[in-house]
Amino acid sequence: MIRINKDSVTLSFQDQSFDLPFLWLRDNCQCDECRITETEEKQFLLHTVPSDISPDSVREAENNIYISWPDGHESIIPINKILESGRSRYPEHKEWDDDFVPPKHDWNKFLNDKGAAIKGLEDFVQYGVIILSNAPKESNSLELLSKRFGPIHETLFERIHNVSVTGHVYNVAHTSKGLPPHNDFASYKYQPSVQALHMLENECEGGESVIVDGWKLVDDLRNDHPNYFDILCNFNIPFREFDEENETYTEAPLIQCDNNGKVESFRFSNQLMQMINPNKQGLKSFYDAYHEVSKRVHEDKYRSVFRLNGGEVLIVASLRVLHARESFIPNGKRHLQDAYYVYDNAANNIVLLSN
Ligand SMILES: [Fe+2]
């Protein structure tokens, strides 16, 4: 059912109702003149009609809205297209159970079978983490994941990073010490949003993998201490990672939200955090909030602990899920490689593969 108001059209369809402003209606015309038919891109330019444009007539027929405009243009908008615009594009995020362990998927199936890839990527978006099993134990196999996660997001240091106690040491990860929860390269303004950790060999005693649901943790913090949450959204922290030949540095808040206030990113790295200028305003309050969030990063309720074996790849949505490693005894071989990808590419591959 259609009703014309002063500056909009009300559409009632099945059990849904939409208020469609006149400018919206004109802007979203789907006719062949307003779209580039080959690419489905918009061609119509909004500024070419008056801002107070008003239709001569509007009618609904065959699940389309037809609009006649004073300049003679005839618009068509399929109602299905309107319904579609309100549906969420990606699977909803899910919380972890108390005994959560990352969903496991088979490396070969994930790479070669469309249905298995969709299932794996859906789990990845929902839980922020998956493990691929039966992966090759050869170096640089992470290149192959580009088929599902898009191009490797390169950073300084190495395209594919090697983590072992025998290589180049520029980070606590290259020692046998425990590695507290963090996401990598907090020292970049645009941190890598996906990280794959590929265990090639793990013959050492200890060194269990730990992951932390950072979004759950900061959502709880927002409920319990809204003032701490606000401080962590607004207070910039310096982070730096470097060696003799590489330098990365940024200042950014620990929590970033989208326009609806939903947490989009939790940046945390004890090891990369730098000294804050003691004259910076709000330092004392920041430290109260930082103490609380640091405590929660180490609480059992937000973490899952498991052993990552040779031939397994742990993949985290790293703006949500922190990773860590318990200390180990270097009494055998332990070699991990990691690489980064872009979260948007992973999520959009679900849409592409489902089409
Ligand atoms: Fe790391």
**Predicted confidence (pLDDT) per residue in 181-195, tens digit:** 999 999 999 999 999
**pLDDT reading at 321 higher than 90:** yes
Q: How far is the CA of 334 from the centre of ligand 1 (A)?
A: 15
Q: How far is the CA of 102 from the centre of ligand 1 (A)?
A: 17
Q: How far is the CA of 111 from the centre of ligand 1 (A)?
A: 24
Q: How far is the CA of 112 from the centre of ligand 1 (A)?
A: 28
pLDDT of residue 70: 97
**pLDDT tens per residue across span 246-264:** 999 999 999 999 999 999 9
Q: What is the mean pLDDT of the chain?
A: 96
Q: Phi-psi bin for 207: left (phi > 0), alpha (psi -120 to 50), beta? A: left
**pLDDT reading at 176 higher than 90:** no
What's the rounded Cα separation, in Å, for the pair 261 and 219? 11
Q: How far is the CA of 162 from the centre of ligand 1 (A)?
A: 11
Q: What are phi and psi of 207, to 5 degrees?
A: 75, 30
pLDDT category of residue 164 using cuts at 50, 70 and 90: confident
Q: Quick one: which of 344, 324, 340 has its CA closest to 121? A: 344
Q: Quick one: which of 266, 261, 257 has its CA closest to 320? A: 266
Q: How far is the CA of 1 from the centre of ligand 1 (A)?
A: 56
Q: How far is the CA of 323 from the centre of ligand 1 (A)?
A: 6
- Where helices occur in 95-225 by DSSP H, the ranges are 107-112, 114-127, 146-149, 214-224
Bridge partners, 58 (sequence order): 67
pLDDT category of residue 36 using cuts at 50, 70 and 90: very high
What's the rounded Cα separation, in Å, for the pair 187 and 328? 26
Q: How far is the CA of 338 from the centre of ligand 1 (A)?
A: 8
Q: How far is the CA of 83 from the centre of ligand 1 (A)?
A: 42
**pLDDT reading at 171 higher than 80:** no
**pLDDT reading at 69 higher than 90:** yes
Q: How far is the CA of 336 from the centre of ligand 1 (A)?
A: 11
Q: How far is the CA of 116 from the centre of ligand 1 (A)?
A: 27
**pLDDT reading at 287 higher than 80:** yes
Q: How far is the CA of 306 from the centre of ligand 1 (A)?
A: 16
**pLDDT reading at 173 higher than 80:** no
Q: How far is the CA of 197 from the centre of ligand 1 (A)?
A: 9
Q: How far is the CA of 254 from the centre of ligand 1 (A)?
A: 17
Q: How far is the CA of 191 from the centre of ligand 1 (A)?
A: 12
Least-confidence region, from 100-104, 107-111, 157-161? 157-161
Q: How far is the CA of 178 from the centre of ligand 1 (A)?
A: 11
pLDDT of residue 230: 98
Q: How far is the CA of 324 from the centre of ligand 1 (A)?
A: 7
For range 45-67, the mean pLDDT: 97
